[in-house]
Amino acid sequence: MSAIKSYDRLRLVLLLGAFSALGPLTIDMYLPSFPEIAADYGTQASLVQLSLTACLIGLGLGQIIMGPLSDVHGRRKPVIVSLMIYLAASFVCAVSPNIYFFIGARFIQGFAASAGIVISRAVVRDVYSGPELTKFFSLLMLVNNLFPMIAPMAGSGVISFTTWTGVFFVLSAVGLLLVLMATRNLKETLPVENRVSANFGELLSGIQALLKDRLFLGYALAQGLMIGGVFAYVSGTPFVYQNIYGASPQLFALLFASNGISLIIGSQIVGRFSGAFSERKFVILGLLLSCTASFSALLVILFHGPLIALVIPLFFFVASIGMTSTASFVLAMESQSKRAGSAAALLGLLPFVLGACTSPLVGVAGENSAVPMGIILLTTSVLALTAFFGLTFRPKTKSVRNCAATPSS
């Protein structure tokens, strides 16, 4: 913690929040443009959704590479280099001549954005532990969760007076601003003596050790499967709300933003009551809520309920993500200090890999069916609940583990 004594707590969370915000900005800001992109390139909705899949793959692979690299070279240098690449990739997205070139550029854009996400979380673990880790991470999530609300509205605002390409010119400007912020304000939080060897074999063995840790894997899969379901929601709702229910891009942005509020509520409940309840209890509550909400959403879809009847369970579904992702991250990272970058990378990789699988599936029944989205939300919720209990439940050592893993309880 001595490396950042001059950091003010609020300044640090805003700085890290800005870096990790590249994820939701890159994913969400162009969502209202999906129908326009499809029309402009003269292509199908599934190919436009594939551009989201490519971005998610880039975000996932980038984290698994940038996380371990930050354990070797420190946090500062990888962030700055990646932000420069992000700036260039965003510009290329705006001038892509066809949908396939656009998809490739989106992959590079996602890959570059990954450094901001994974390294900001590693910095949090460098600086905090125990109850302070829970409280600070919930505060960071508060900043992060504002961007899923802001991004679609900003995107719809941009396309209201220009074409969809303007969204990516704006993202280029964001990349430039973050390069300047990182160069000027980001201090190194990983001392040289705490870094790991650059030996590839050692890095690989460290990742393998994490994958063999049942508790870590249980928390990681619970979070990953839940967020994988969210990406199905993110990919499906532009067409469900606008094509099936006839919502305008502006109304879609408002509906999508309302779920940013639910994300904030879920994460802040964990931070606010972390002293009274263990993080494990919050994970269980979030998983049960997601199963209930996703089942309700599927019933509304199957019986062709009104828009408001669909929006309400989706609101609670996304709230469960805020609760589960915050608590499971703390539990998974608590015992990872020396390899915080690798641990954060794995925690970041799973959601994007699973999201890359679920996103294109929501369109298999065409643009006018929400049934695949509803099935995916329920399936990922049930699988997350199963993985969590299957990998983390140990009756004989339950009380000992709870004391060690959840010092705030």
Question: 107-154, pLDDT tens digit by residue?
Answer: 999 999 988 888 888 888 777 776 777 777 777 777 776 776 677 778
Distance between CA 234 and CA 297 in Å, rounded? 15
What DSSP designation does 245 have?
A: S
| Cβ pair 184, 64 in contact under 8 A | no
- In tens digits, what is the pLDDT along the chain, a chain of 409 residues? 444 444 567 778 888 888 888 888 888 888 888 888 888 888 887 788 889 889 988 887 888 888 888 888 888 889 999 999 999 999 999 999 999 999 999 999 999 998 888 888 888 877 777 677 777 777 777 777 677 667 777 887 888 888 889 999 999 999 999 999 888 888 887 887 777 766 666 667 777 778 788 888 898 899 889 888 888 887 788 888 888 888 887 788 788 777 778 888 888 888 788 777 788 889 999 999 999 999 999 999 999 889 899 999 999 998 998 888 888 888 887 766 566 777 777 887 787 678 778 877 887 766 677 888 899 999 999 999 999 999 887 655 444 444 444 443 3
Q: What's the CA gap between 74 and 68, in Å, rounded? A: 10
Beta strands in 165-305 (DSSP E): none
Which amino acid does the sequence have at 276? A
Cα–Cα dist 226/247, whole Å = 26
Of residues 177, 162, 161, the one with CA closest to residue 21: 177
Instruction: Domains for the chain: give ranges and CATH numbers.
Output: 2-187+197-405 (1.20.1250.20)
Helices 307-333 and 371-392 cross at an angle (nearest 10°) of 30
Handedness of CA 112, 117, 119, 120 (dihedral sign): positive
Distance of CA 20 to the CA centre of its chain: 9
Length of the chain: 409
What tokens appear for 168 in the block?
A: 């990516």
State which amino acid sits at residue 281: K
Sign for the CA dihedral angle at 241, 246, 249, 254 comes to negative
Task: Please state, as a whole number, how many other Cβ atoms lie within 10 Å of the Cβ of residue 154.
Answer: 18
Strand segments, DSSP code E, in 157-199 are none
Instruction: Give the pLDDT confidence of 149-167 residue by residue, as tens digits.
Output: 677 778 878 888 888 899 9
The tokens of 238 are what?
A: 């532009």
Q: How far is CA 333 from the centre of its chain?
A: 16
Tokens of 378: 């329920």
Residues 252/156, Cβ–Cβ less than 8 Å = yes
Sequence-ordered list of residues with C-beta below 8 angstroms from that of 360, at least 6 positions apart, any chain: 46, 49, 50, 53, 235
pLDDT digit string, tens, across residues 299-309: 999 998 898 99
Question: Hey, is 1 helix, strand or coil?
Answer: coil
